[in-house]
C-alpha cells in the first residue's frame, strides 16, 4: 500500500478547531499528543508506520517511537546493531525472535534487547499491533553487557519508594544494576498523589502516558496530558505531575542513569 493511502487516525480535538494543539516543543522539553505525529517508513520494517516522538534531532540522546505494525508486518529480516532497545507492546500481539528463539508478546509484554542482540518482530494478529520502541547507544563501563529481558507488566512488583499511599514504581529493568545505563519504570499515581517536590535532575526522560490524565509542570509551564501523549524532558528540566480525574494515572518513563558525565 502506498504510504499516502494509509489511514490517518482521527484527531482528538473538536471538529472545526483547526490549528489548535496541546503540543509544544521547547528547548528543554516537548509535549506531543499522538494525533499530530507524522508517519515514517523505514527500510528494516515492512507494513509498519513509525511515529517518532524523540530523536537526537529534538535534543534527546535517545530515540523513541510508536510502531504501528499491520497484521503480518514487522521487521523485513532479523538484524542487530550496537543499540540497546526496549520494545513494549501497547496493543495487539507480536512474535519476537531473539537469536533464533521465538516468544509471544501480548499487551504489556516487553523485551529489553542488549546491544548486538539479533532480533526480528512479526505481528501475529488479529489486527494492528502498536509497539513502543526506545533505542540508544549503550554506554559501556567495562562490566559484562546487560542480559536480555523478556517479561510482562503483570509480573513486576509494584514498589512504593516513598511511603506515599497510592504512588508506585514498576521497574522493567533490574533496579540498581550498574550494568544498565537506563531505567525503564512505570509510575502510577492514584487520585490526590503527586511527587513531594518539583524535581530537577541531570537525567532526561521519555514519557509515554499509559493510563489516565493529569497536569504536568515542565520548566515554568503547566500542560494537560492524556493517555497516549508523549513528553520529552531534557536534562535539568524542572518537573512535577499530579493526576486529575477519578482513575489512577500511569506512565512509562525512560531515564538515563548510572553513568558519570563525559
Within 211-250, the residues that bind ligand UGY by CB under 6 A are 239, 241
Nearer to ligand UGY, 4 or 220 (CB): 220
Nearer to ligand UGY, 65 or 187 (CB): 187
Residue whose CB is nearest to ligand UGY in the complex, by number? 239
Question: Minimum distance between the CB of residue 169 and ligand UGY, rounded to whole angstroms?
Answer: 8
DSSP at 82: S
For 164, counting Cβ atoms within 10 Å of its Cβ (0-12 exposed, 13-18 middle, 19+ buried), the class is middle
Among 30, 105, 187, 250, binds ligand UGY (CB under 6 A): 187
Question: Minimum distance between the CB of residue 32 and ligand UGY, rounded to whole angstroms?
Answer: 16
DSSP at 159: B
Please list the helix, strand and coil fractions of the chain in percent, rounded to the nearest 5, in that order. 5, 45, 50
CA 241 to chain centre: 17
Nearer to ligand UGY, 45 or 189 (CB): 189
Question: Minimum distance between the CB of residue 175 and ligand UGY, rounded to whole angstroms?
Answer: 11
Of 124, 251, 137, nearest to 186 by C-alpha is: 251
Instruction: Tell me how long the chain is.
Output: 262
Is 253 a residue that touches ligand UGY (CB under 6 A)? Answer: yes
Report how far residue 259's alpha carbon sits from residue 261's, in angstroms, rounded to the nearest whole number. Answer: 7
Question: Minimum distance between the CB of residue 254 and ligand UGY, rounded to whole angstroms?
Answer: 10
Among 58, 204, 205, 212, binds ligand UGY (CB under 6 A): 205
* Total number of residues that touch ligand UGY (CB under 6 A): 8
Question: Minimum distance between the CB of residue 25 and ligand UGY, rounded to whole angstroms?
Answer: 18
b/e map 59-89, b = 16+ CB within 10 Å: bbebbbbbbbbbbebbbeeeeeeebbbbbbb
The residues that touch ligand UGY, with contacts defined as CB under 6 A, are 187, 195, 199, 205, 239, 241, 253, 255
Amino acid at each position: 500500500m502506498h504510504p499516502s493511502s494509509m489511514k490517518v487516525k482521527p484527531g482528538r480535538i473538536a471538529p472545526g478547531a483547526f490549528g489548535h494543539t496541546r503540543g509544544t516543543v521547547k528547548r528543554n522539553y516537548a509535549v506531543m499528543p499522538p494525533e499530530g505525529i507524522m508517519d515514517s517508513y523505514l527500510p528494516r520494517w515492512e507494513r509498519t508506520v513509525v511515529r517518532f516522538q524523540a530523536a537526537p534531532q529534538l535534543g534527546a540522546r535517545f530515540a523513541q517511537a510508536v510502531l504501528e505494525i499491520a497484521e503480518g508486518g514487522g521487521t523485513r529480516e532479523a538484524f542487530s546493531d550496537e543499540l540497546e532497545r526496549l520494545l513494549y507492546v501497547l496493543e495487539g500481539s507480536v512474535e519476537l525472535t531473539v537469536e533464533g528463539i521465538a516468544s509471544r508478546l501480548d499487551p504489556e509484554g516487553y523485551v529489553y534487547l542488549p546491544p548486538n542482540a539479533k532480533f526480528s518482530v512479526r505481528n501475529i494478529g488479529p489486527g494492528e499491533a502498536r509497539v513502543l520502541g526506545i533505542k540508544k547507544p549503550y554506554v559501556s563501563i567495562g562490566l559484562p553487557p546487560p542480559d536480555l529481558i523478556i517479561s510482562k507488566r503483570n509480573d513486576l512488583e509494584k514498589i512504593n519508594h516513598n511511603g506515599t499511599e497510592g504512588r508506585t514504581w514498576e521497574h522493567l529493568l533490574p533496579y540498581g544494576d550498574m550494568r544498565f545505563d537506563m531505567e525503564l519504570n512505570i509510575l502510577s499515581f492514584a487520585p490526590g498523589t503527586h511527587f513531594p517536590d518539583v524535581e530537577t535532575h541531570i537525567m532526561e526522560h521519555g514519557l509515554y502516558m499509559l493510563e489516565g490524565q493529569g497536569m504536568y509542570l515542565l520548566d515554568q509551564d503547566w500542560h494537560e496530558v492524556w493517555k497516549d501523549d508523549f513528553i520529552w524532558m531534557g536534562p535539568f528540566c524542572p518537573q512535577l505531575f499530579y493526576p486529575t480525574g477519578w482513575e489512577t494515572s500511569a506512565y512509562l518513563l525512560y531515564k538515563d542513569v548510572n553513568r558519570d558525565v563525559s
